Structure 1
Amino acid sequence: MIVTVTANPSLDRLVVLGAPLRRGAVQRAQGAAADPGGKGVNVSRVVHAAGAGTVAVLPADQGDPLLVALARLDVPAIPVPVGHEVRSNITVTEPDGTTTKLNAPGPHLASETVQALEDAVVAAADGASWLALCGSLPPGLPDDWYARLMARLGAGPDGPRIAVDTSGAALAASAVRGVALLKPNAEELAELVGRDPVAGAEFESRAAAGDPGPVLDAARELHRATGAAVLATLGGAGALLVTADGAWVATPPRITVRSTVGAGDSSLAGYLIAHERGAQPPECLSLAVAYGAAAAALPGTQAPRPEELAVADVRVTAL
């Protein structure tokens, strides 16, 4: 069972433009949609679509449009009442695949809601194989909330493996011993190892040019500091994985990019799905990249299904 935690879920509203975005102008959309979102929710949607066991823990009131959308998809969820409607995020996609995302901050969580959310996570994690702590933290939660959750759960052979996919101060506070998997993007990885965030762009460009050395060095540094496997997603250049057993880089299949929103979440889901099946690290990386590419080829934050993957076209190289 893969349990996901999304402390700041969203209803993701997609606007598809038929021409480039013109600031200050009025434009007609070619299409629009609304999907349940938030990083952990996205992971659970992909895992569920693959036929694997999952449950999404999140703050939301019964009847919230997000929960209605999840129920329509048959994705299991454990909602914790919050007293506010879940935030809406807006994504605008252009014909060339350019994606603009406007994220609302989310409602402030009262102390009693935070306690109830923590209790729900601990209860759901009992017997789980993976606990994925995903996404930004809403107002009312401290930067080290994920770390506090990990401390409460404890690190032992009987507990779930913990994966973390967040950013900024929350990611820095979570990059500690006891985490099984960290999934930064290139910019986040650069920040975690004390580099200027612009180094992340160099990581991606060098990897795309066939030189994964800089991102490999950074991922190995993070692995040594935390003991965690590091799955670094590199956008169109694919992804790189460092574990205690070695390091690998994977290049994605060729696709037409329609929306990059949720691609990293799908990559994390792919890795967890493969690990649940007993796959070795290279195979986990391959499925992660296949899922990320499939998600980028879909509009909005749709969850790619197994039949939409091009696993055979992912190239994995040992480093």
Structure 2
Amino acid sequence: MIVTITPNPSLDRTYELDALAPGEVNRAGHDRIDPGGKGVNVSRALTAAGHRTTAVLPLGGPPGHLLAELLRRQSIDVAAVPIAGDTRINVSIAEADGRLTKVNAAGPELDAAESAALLSRVAGFTGNGIDWLACCGSLPRGLAPAWYAELVARVHSGGARIALDTSGPALLAALSARPDVVKPNREELAEAVGRPVATIGDAVDAAGELRKRGAQQVLASLGADGMLLVAEDGSWYGSAPVAAVRSDVGAGDASLAGFLGAGGTGPDALAAALAHGAAAVQLPGSVMPTPADLDPAAVAVTADIPLERPLSG
């Protein structure tokens, strides 16, 4: 059983175009609306893979009602915390050449009572047989950077393991609470350590620094260059090349779902993360992969990490 918490969820509207013409009227060939937010996507990917999951969400207004309904249609249990503000709506424009333009709304501001209610709702799942709590995404206005740190401490005291996928001050504040795994991408990793990450070796060093600050494992996404897992019992690097990227919305979240669903530790879990992420980028919008979409044979994982290899981009 894996519980996810998304403090700032969204409805994600995706339009597919041949090419975006700024300043002109553009007509979409296809469009879709999906439940959004990093933890929401993790729950969607877990459900698609046959795992039990509950999504804890602060929800408000008509967008919040629609988000909950869309999740229930996908057989995902929703633990809603009512809020006064409306749940945000994000827009993505996906072009045929793979370029993606995103407009993310700021979202509602939670007051002190709503913040406390959300914290209590999540903490209430501990001691009830959950294996992992995945804390995902940015914090909405009204929640201090230390909010995740308090959540990690509360949930750890109940015996559950914590996966944290956030960035900036919220990530740094939570490290001292010793989350079981953190999942930064390359840019978030560089921001956390205050220096560029230009090679795979740089990423290994930065991940090691996060471990010294308290993270028990670091699952670092390097985009097209693959992923790293740095833990106490070893470090591994893996890649899963894809022929063409259709949309990378939610691909990192699919990776985290694959990692947790495969046990959340070791090279086999890293391989599962890579397979899920590679499948997700080949699907439209934020569609999450099913087992039929995965290609484990395309994944390569090794403990012989190519430290000198430069990262693309």
What is the TM-score normalised by the length of structure 2? 0.92
CA displacement at 1:254 relative to structure 2: 2.1
Q: In the aligned structure 1, how far is the partner of 2:230 from the partner of 2:263? A: 15
Identify the residue that residue 115 of structure 1 maps to in structure 2.
116
CA displacement at 1:85 relative to structure 2: 2.6
- 8 Å CA contact 2:224–2:241 kept in 1: the answer is no
**2:202 is equivalent to residue 214 of structure 1:** yes
Identify the residue that residue 129 of structure 1 maps to in structure 2.
131
Identify the residue that residue 263 of structure 1 maps to in structure 2.
251
Q: In the aligned structure 2, how far is the partner of 1:171 from the partner of 1:311? A: 31
Identity fraction in percent: 49
Q: In the aligned structure 2, how far is the partner of 1:61 from the partner of 1:33? A: 21
- Closer, same or farther: CA 227–149 of 1 in aligned 2, 3 Å: closer
Identify the residue that residue 77 of structure 1 maps to in structure 2.
78
Identify the residue that residue 307 of structure 2 maps to in structure 1.
none
- 8 Å CA contact 2:182–2:215 kept in 1: the answer is no
Identify the residue that residue 34 of structure 2 maps to in structure 1.
35
Q: In the aligned structure 2, how far is the partner of 1:159 from the partner of 1:233? A: 27
CA displacement at 1:255 relative to structure 2: 3.1
**2:292 is equivalent to residue 307 of structure 1:** yes
Identify the residue that residue 56 of structure 1 maps to in structure 2.
55
Q: In the aligned structure 1, how far is the partner of 2:243 from the partner of 2:165? A: 24
Task: Tell me how large the CA RMSD over aligned residues is.
Answer: 1.5
CA displacement at 1:315 relative to structure 2: 0.5
Q: In the aligned structure 2, how far is the partner of 1:111 from the partner of 1:261? A: 31
Q: In the aligned structure 2, how far is the partner of 1:83 from the partner of 1:190? A: 36
Identify the residue that residue 209 of structure 1 maps to in structure 2.
none
Structure 1 letter corresponding to 2:219: L
Structure 2 letter corresponding to 1:220: G
> What do residues 68-123 of structure 1 show as CA deviations (whole Å, max 9, x unaligned)?
11011111110011123311000111111111111101111122211111111011
What is the TM-score normalised by the length of structure 1? 0.90
Q: Mapping of 1:74-113 within 5 angstroms? A: 74-113=75-114
- 8 Å CA contact 1:46–1:305 kept in 2: the answer is yes
Q: In the aligned structure 1, how far is the partner of 2:236 from the partner of 2:44? A: 27
CA displacement at 1:167 relative to structure 2: 1.5
Q: In the aligned structure 2, how far is the partner of 1:226 from the partner of 1:120? A: 25
- 8 Å CA contact 1:62–1:81 kept in 2: the answer is no
Structure 1 letter corresponding to 2:67: L
Structure 1 letter corresponding to 2:12: D
2:124 aligned counterpart, secondary structure = helix
The gaps in structure 2 that reach 5 residues or longer are 305-313
**2:239 is equivalent to residue 251 of structure 1:** yes
Structure 2 letter corresponding to 1:33: R
